Structure 1
Amino acid sequence: MRISRAAVTIPIVVRASKEQFAEALDGATFAEVRRQGKYLLFPFQSGAVMVVHPMLTGRFQYCDPAEKRRAKTAFVLALDSGMELRYFDQRLMGKVYLARNEGDLSAVAPRWTEMGPDAMSPQLTEDLFVQRLRRYRGQVKNVLTKEQCVAGIGNAYADEVLWEAGVHPYRKLTELSDAALGGLYRAMRAVMEWAIPIVAGGMEADGLPDDHYRDHLRVHRKGGEPCPRCGSRVSEITAGQRITNFCRKCQAQ
């Protein structure tokens, strides 16, 4: 698919000038889109790469050009198919970067070279996962959400992974055995393999909604509700604008 015209509509989101954006993408043909951690990579046959970090509220809209633009639409790609690909971000938290080629990613995307392996990468074996976590001494949830350790696990899915593994989110890594960390690795893979088709199926039907797109999660944002595993009340702790949910009975490890 080819881009016939690229336009920036909210410059604060796109870390390139309107002229640079248009020059790089006008006439560009998409290669295979992929994900790296929390980033979406849009490579083009020219070698250029558009990198999108959507954060919490970034969304894409594939639609007819006649359809009314959503509020906070940051850029619009007019496609040779006659459709448009739009990116909107209600809180304007996300960022869009342009690289001349994949080797230039570290120069345009902050801390790109510091990013750990993707949580679902085939190269991230259980042994490597344990080794990477052993570099840190903090609470297990904090480490699990560090992009430098493992890329792609945010606050919500960290709660789910820890619940699946039966590990308390505030347990220090130094208190956990290698066997427990191996169980955490298997829980991470199981949660992702379970959640991805659920989210993908919803997107195919209606696109990713502005809210309720995490209703399938078992404990995150379920404070006060029964634990799906044991029936005990799910605890909720808020610290630094981040909510942590867990079951005190199931996650005693």
Structure 2
Amino acid sequence: MPEIPELEAIRGFFQERLPGVAITAAQVRIPVVFRTPASEFRETLPGDAFEAIDRRGKFLLFGLASGRILAINPMLTGRFQYLPPEAKLPAKTCLVLQLATGPTLRYADERLMGKLYLLPADRLSAIPGWSDNGPDLLDPALDEAAWLRRIARFRGQVKNILVNAAFVQGIGNAYADEILWEARINPYTPRTRLDEDDLRRLFRAARDVMAWATPLAREAMVRGDSLDYEERRDFLRVHRRGGQPCPRCGTPISEITANQRITSFCRTCQPGGP
């Protein structure tokens, strides 16, 4: 599942290339992922042009000259490509935009779980859950004080809180493990057992992990002027590293699977838990 580092890398790539570029054709191939009628994509995107590319949580937001936003939440298996028209299309390619500059922007989704919206910029609140979720993790207004106020509203295990979009947006399972390892906090620790120093350290770890991982995520998907996102996270230090030595202390990393979620952590660096 793309999280902030992957989506920030993709956003940055498109921000360097798309503003001012016109869309010459829109091919809707698999309508099931479209939450706005697919005909609107097909009929109204040609002739429009890109403006700023933004991100909120796990949504990429493609601003358009028409005043609309193409909002895409790739969910678990959504993937973006920026390739020449002759490049082979993945089998589950849902949307292909032909650009006036030559390349195509594609969205593919192996499990067809993603969600695509085409809405006026002032109507993003129509997206289910948009107004109910917390701030993006990288929102400048989310400083340590705001983080402490928000997290005090949530109970339960700290990892469950990190991946809860009602708390903050953009953190998923993989980077929650990395953040907790960086902060030296056991993922199963109840939030009520963490003191203020722990919670401040957790905030700093969250921001540090995103800054560290984003350029590495970009290296994994960008080749020159092409983008072909496949989920490759071989740079991660603990997530999905069960049995391998902790890069900080050498203890074998523990890996627990529960409720279809893999949690990886170091029992020496991250003591405690329930």
2:76 pairs with 1:56: yes
Structure 1 residue runs of 5 or longer lacking an equivalent are none
Q: Name the counterpart of 1:189.
A: 207
Q: Name the counterpart of 1:133.
A: 151
Q: Name the counterpart of 2:221.
A: 203
Q: Which amino acid aligns with 1:184?
A: L
Q: Name the counterpart of 2:7.
A: none
2:220 pairs with 1:220: no
- How far, CA to CA, are the matches of 1:130 and 1:141 in structure 2? 16
Which of residues 220, 231, 235 in structure 1 aligns to 2:254?
Answer: 235
Q: Name the counterpart of 1:13.
A: 33
Structure 2 residue runs of 5 or longer lacking an equivalent are 1-20
Against the structure 1 CA distance between its residues 208 and 65, is the aligned structure 2 distance closer, same or farther, given a 3 Å change threshold?
closer
Return the offset for 1:66.
Answer: 2.2
Contact 1:49 1:102 in 2 (8 A): yes
Q: Which amino acid aligns with 1:72?
A: K
Q: Name the counterpart of 2:271.
A: 252
Return the offset for 1:222.
Answer: 0.3
CA RMSD of the aligned region, Å?
Answer: 1.3
Q: Name the counterpart of 1:159.
A: 177
Higher relative contact order (CA 8 A, sep 6+): 2
Return the offset for 1:56.
Answer: 2.6
What percent identity do the matched residue pairs reach? 51
Q: Name the counterpart of 2:129.
A: 111
Q: Name the counterpart of 1:68.
A: 88
Q: For 1:249, what is the secondary structure of its paired residue? A: coil
Contact 1:24 1:48 in 2 (8 A): no
Q: Which amino acid aligns with 1:18?
A: A
Q: Name the counterpart of 1:41.
A: 61
Deviations 1:181-234 (A, max 9, x none): 0000000011011000111122222745534x1111100000111111111111
Against the structure 1 CA distance between its residues 82 and 208, is the aligned structure 2 distance closer, same or farther, given a 3 Å change threshold?
closer
> How many equivalent pairs are there?
250
